[in-house]
A = this chain, B = another copy of it.
Amino acid sequence: MQQHSAHLNGIFHALADPTRRSVLGRLGKGPASISELAMPFDMALPSFMKHIHLLEDNGLIRTRKLGRVRTCAIEKKSFALLDAWLSEQRALWEGRTDRLEQFVITAHAKDKSK
């Protein structure tokens, strides 16, 4: 659970940056090399690589070096953790609505039986 929470911290932190979200958007269309990914950004390569490392360290992408070219690909599994968290939140809200609904129904029934 602790580990799960630490992973979520990392994922959310990685997603809190427009460059990193843009890279994920590009990789959503298919794998790409670092130079291809860096092209749209007016950024020095070392700065861009920090973004790539952060995405990789948090499991949102995987990279593989073939000869001189490093290729990146999206890691969909990490998004499942995000989905799970969102579903958990929604379940809380819905449980709450259900309880409210139950309360209204019970109150209404009691009112009618008077």
Contacts and interface: CB of A to CB of B under 8 A. Distances in A.
Interface residues of A, number: 30
Copies assembled: 2
Interface in A51-77: 74, 76
Interface of A is mostly: helix
B86 A79 contact: yes
B9 A16 contact: yes
Interface in A37-96: 74, 76, 79, 82-83, 85-86, 88-90, 92-93, 95-96
Nearest to A13: B16
Interface of A: 5, 8-10, 12-13, 15-18, 21, 24-25, 28-30, 74, 76, 79, 82-83, 85-86, 88-90, 92-93, 95-96
